[in-house]
């Protein structure tokens, strides 16, 4: 099997240890050539400073995390989300990011209308798509694991994400609206291989980590590649099979393990696992 | 909307408080007319005593929990699972259970071969199906939420479960092999309505509880109906739409809440919620 695409550090992996500035310096120190920042850290550093630092160091921004969170209880809330997504698109453009990752949002508090939330997501993406196209920022819908359907993302399968792409006019070779494939979210899906084929050139990002057994927290107990049960090389082969030749982005949220370790040790481990088990 | 089918108590709901004998007495005391025992409690009481007690009280056994757990690392392990499932079928027959619920099992320890585990599940069900038919015990495949794909059940959607039914010759009107629809496991599925239609007469059981926000444990933090975000009446309407007219089985595993309460209080709450939010 050929080597995986180059490593990118999603800053969530060392969220508790490092600022964005430290992440950029850390990537440079460890010869990691890609980075994917979160907007809270970006705001702390300022977009202008981060963009210059990233450019100076020569990193590729494989994605900006995150846009999305479209559903809201009322029209004002939905408009606020649309406005915020446009600002996220502008930030992504300033960073020359390869995509803006969309974690689409769950149901508004008190709602049990999952289908309604899903419709609001599609409407929200539709409302920002022209802005994204004009800014030349591809939007990557990230289907999240079904355990996040209520409160984080009501788009839970690649099939659903691609239905939205299709509905909004993004065909198989059209990369302005596509998907982020994170093995953690999709590994269980019986339709995985078929839907990655369907995605084709719309695979805009590839994220790795691992599913631990047992998993002790729904959100913050992700595993380092190789420590869990996901057949990561098999999924990598699927995305490469449709021509994906981009970075391999490591995103590990881990309160009790990786967030407690020395960040340089975390990065060294990512590099070693990227070379051996991805 | 018409009233839901009668209430059945899955004994897991008061697992920490009551033995099976106490569950049977509790159902009688509270005018609950259905029960669904777990095999560990059945073994404690003995199948013969439980069957007589249940008959004397006049309860309907809406299911026996559980068969399944088919995948294993070697042929001996798989055969042991098949043998155990045949014993479970015999127990279900002795109880005159409406079905044996199959929690199919995940990947064997150390394995990352999800597709292989799924094949082993289908092979396992095929190996016990004639035994079940002869015993007149319908087998209900219960798709479990994708968060259990690794270690509990690698059948995670109704579509998958129905593919197995189809492959093993159980058509839409054939009730010897079908599915258990548990709202907790399927509520997020974008294909839910379509797959329940496809299931048709193969809906052998309907289980209710609720999805809490936040959910603090992957296994043991299920909510009481009405306390979470699942639109239970909408899913009930779907199963009734294909002619399901059986019981509504409450199955709540809840270490930190319902398992700590007085069991009579739990049953009274189930009765009240069944009447008001299911």
3-state SS of A39-90? HHHHHHHCHHHHHHHHHHHCCEECCEEEEECCCCCCHHHHHHHHHHHHHHHH
Any chain A CB within 8 A of the CB of B147? Answer: yes
Q: B-contacting residues of A 49-88, CB under 8 Å?
A: none
Of B111, B112, B146, the CB nearest to A188: B146
Q: SS3 of B278, please?
A: coil
- Of B61, B39, B92, B14, give the one whose Cα is nearest residue B255: B14
- A20, A47 Cβ separation under 8 angstroms: no
Distance from CA of B136 to the nearest CA of A (A): 31
Any chain A CB within 8 A of the CB of B151? Answer: yes
Which chain B positions have a beta carbon within 8 Å of A107's beta carbon?
Answer: 229
Q: Please give the helix or strand (H or E) that residue B269 lies within, else none.
A: helix B263-276
pLDDT attached to residue A225: 98
CB contact under 8 A, A156 and B190: yes
Binning pLDDT at 50, 70 and 90, where does residue B173 land?
Answer: confident
pLDDT attached to residue B180: 98
Tell me if the bond preceding A214 is cis, omega within 30° of 0: yes
CB contact under 8 A, B114 and A157: no
Any chain B CB within 8 A of the CB of A230? Answer: yes
CB contact under 8 A, A218 and B215: yes
Q: Is the dihedral of CA A46, A48, A52, A55 positive or negative?
A: positive
The ipTM estimated for the assembled molecules is 0.97
Q: Please give the backbone phi and psi of residue B129, each rounded to the nearest 5 degrees, phi first.
A: -65, -40
Any chain B CB within 8 A of the CB of A135? Answer: no
Q: Does the structure show a pLDDT above 80 at B175?
A: yes
Any chain B CB within 8 A of the CB of A122? Answer: no
- Of B263, B267, B230, give the one whose Cα is nearest residue B250: B267
Which chain B positions have a beta carbon within 8 Å of A231's beta carbon?
Answer: 112-114
Q: B-contacting residues of A 91-120, CB under 8 Å?
A: 107, 111-114, 118
Any chain B CB within 8 A of the CB of A167? Answer: no
CB contact under 8 A, A190 and B111: no
Could you list the pLDDT tens digit for every one of the 278 residues in chain A?
Answer: 789 999 999 999 999 999 999 999 999 999 999 999 999 999 999 999 999 999 999 999 999 999 999 999 999 999 999 999 999 999 999 999 999 999 999 999 999 999 999 999 999 999 999 999 999 999 999 999 999 999 999 999 999 999 999 999 999 888 999 999 999 999 999 999 999 999 999 999 999 999 999 999 999 999 999 999 999 999 999 999 999 999 999 999 999 999 999 999 999 999 999 999 99
Greatest pairwise CA separation for chain B in angstroms:
51
Q: SS3 of B219, please?
A: coil
B234 burial type by CB count under 10 A (0-12 exposed, 13-18 middle, 19+ buried) = middle
Any chain B CB within 8 A of the CB of A153? Answer: no
DSSP string, B57-114: HT-EE--EEEEE----SSHHHHHHHHHHHHHHHHHHHHTT-S-EEEE-B-PPTT---H
Task: Report yes or no on whether pTM surpasses 0.95.
Answer: yes
Rounded to whole angstroms, the Cα distance separating A117 from A54 reads 36
pLDDT, tens digit (0-9, with 9 covering 90-100), for B5-64: 999 999 999 999 999 999 999 999 999 999 999 999 999 999 999 999 999 999 999 999
Rounded to whole angstroms, the Cα distance separating A4 from A270 reads 13
- Number of residues written out for chain A: 278
Q: Which tokens go with A124?
A: 């929200």
pLDDT attached to residue B86: 98
- Of B217, B159, B208, B189, give the one whose Cα is nearest residue B36: B208
- B192, B186 Cβ separation under 8 angstroms: yes
Which chain B positions have a beta carbon within 8 Å of A215's beta carbon?
Answer: 147, 218
> Comparing A10-19, B168-177, B243-252, which segment has the lowest mean pLDDT?
B168-177
Interface test with chain B among A158, A190, A191, A220, by most B beta carbons within 10 Å: A190
pLDDT attached to residue A1: 75
Distance from CA of A174 to the nearest CA of B (A): 24
Any chain A CB within 8 A of the CB of B194? Answer: no
Helices B47-57 & B75-94 angle (0-180, nearest 10): 30
Based on C-alpha coordinates, what's the Rg of chain A? 17
CB contact under 8 A, B146 and A189: yes
Percentage of chain B with pLDDT > 70? 100
Q: Which tokens go with A74?
A: 């009322």
**CA separation (Å) from B213 to A107, A148, A174, B259?**
11, 10, 36, 19
Any chain A CB within 8 A of the CB of B150? Answer: yes
**CA separation (Å) from A178 to A209, B94, B243?**
21, 54, 40
Interface test with chain B among A105, A143, A147, by most B beta carbons within 10 Å: A147
CB contact under 8 A, A215 and B147: yes
First to last CA, chain A: 10
Which chain B positions have a beta carbon within 8 Å of A152's beta carbon?
Answer: none
Any chain B CB within 8 A of the CB of A147? Answer: yes
pLDDT, tens digit (0-9, with 9 covering 90-100), for A110-169: 999 999 999 999 999 999 999 999 999 999 999 999 999 999 999 999 999 999 999 999
Any chain B CB within 8 A of the CB of A157? Answer: yes
A90-116 exposure pattern, b = at least 16 Cβ within 10 A, e = fewer? bbbbbbebbbbbbbbbbbbeebbbbee
Q: Which tokens go with B78?
A: 């798989």
pLDDT attached to residue A203: 98
DSSP string, A199-231: HGGGEEEEEE-B--SS---TTTBPBPTTSSS--
- Of B80, B91, B92, give the one whose Cα is nearest residue B180: B92
CB contact under 8 A, A188 and B230: no
Binning pLDDT at 50, 70 and 90, where does residue B2 land?
Answer: confident
Q: Which residues contact B152 (CB under 8 A, 6 or more apart)?
A: B103, B105, B106, B144
pLDDT attached to residue A173: 86
CB contact under 8 A, B160 and A215: no
CB contact under 8 A, A214 and B214: no
Any chain B CB within 8 A of the CB of A10? Answer: no
Which chain A positions have a beta carbon within 8 Å of B187's beta carbon?
Answer: 114, 149
């Amino acid at each position: 099997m050929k080597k995986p695409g180059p490593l990118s550090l999603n800053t969530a992996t060392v969220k508790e240890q490092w600022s964005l500035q430290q992440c950029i310096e850390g990537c440079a120190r460890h010869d990691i050539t890609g980075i994917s920042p979160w907007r809270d850290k970006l705001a702390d550093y300022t977009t202008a400073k981060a963009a210059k630092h990233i450019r100076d160091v020569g990193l590729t921004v494989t994605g900006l995390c995150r846009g999305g969170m479209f559903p809201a209880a009322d029209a004002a809330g939905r408009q606020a989300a649309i406005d915020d997504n446009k600002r996220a698109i502008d930030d992504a453009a300033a960073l020359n990011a390869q995509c803006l990752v969309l974690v689409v949002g769950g149901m508004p508090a008190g709602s049990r209308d999952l289908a309604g939330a899903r419709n609001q997501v599609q409407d929200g993406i539709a409302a920002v798509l022209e802005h994204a196209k004009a800014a030349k920022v591809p939007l990557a819908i990230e289907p999240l694991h079904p355990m996040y359907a209520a409160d984080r993302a009501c788009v839970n399968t690649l099939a659903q994400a691609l239905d939205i792409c299709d509905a909004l006019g993004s065909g198989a070779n059209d990369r302005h609206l596509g998907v982020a494939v994170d093995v953690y979210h999709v590994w269980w899906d019986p339709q995985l291989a078929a839907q990655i084929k369907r995605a084709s050139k719309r695979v805009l990002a590839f994220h790795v980590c691992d599913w631990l057994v047992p998993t002790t927290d729904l959100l913050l107990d992700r595993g380092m590649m190789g420590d869990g049960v996901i057949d990561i090389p098999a999924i990598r082969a699927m995305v490469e099979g449709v021509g994906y030749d981009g970075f391999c982005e490591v995103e590990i949220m881990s309160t009790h393990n990786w967030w407690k370790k020395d960040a340089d040790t975390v990065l060294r481990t990512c590099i070693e696992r990227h070379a051996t088990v991805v």
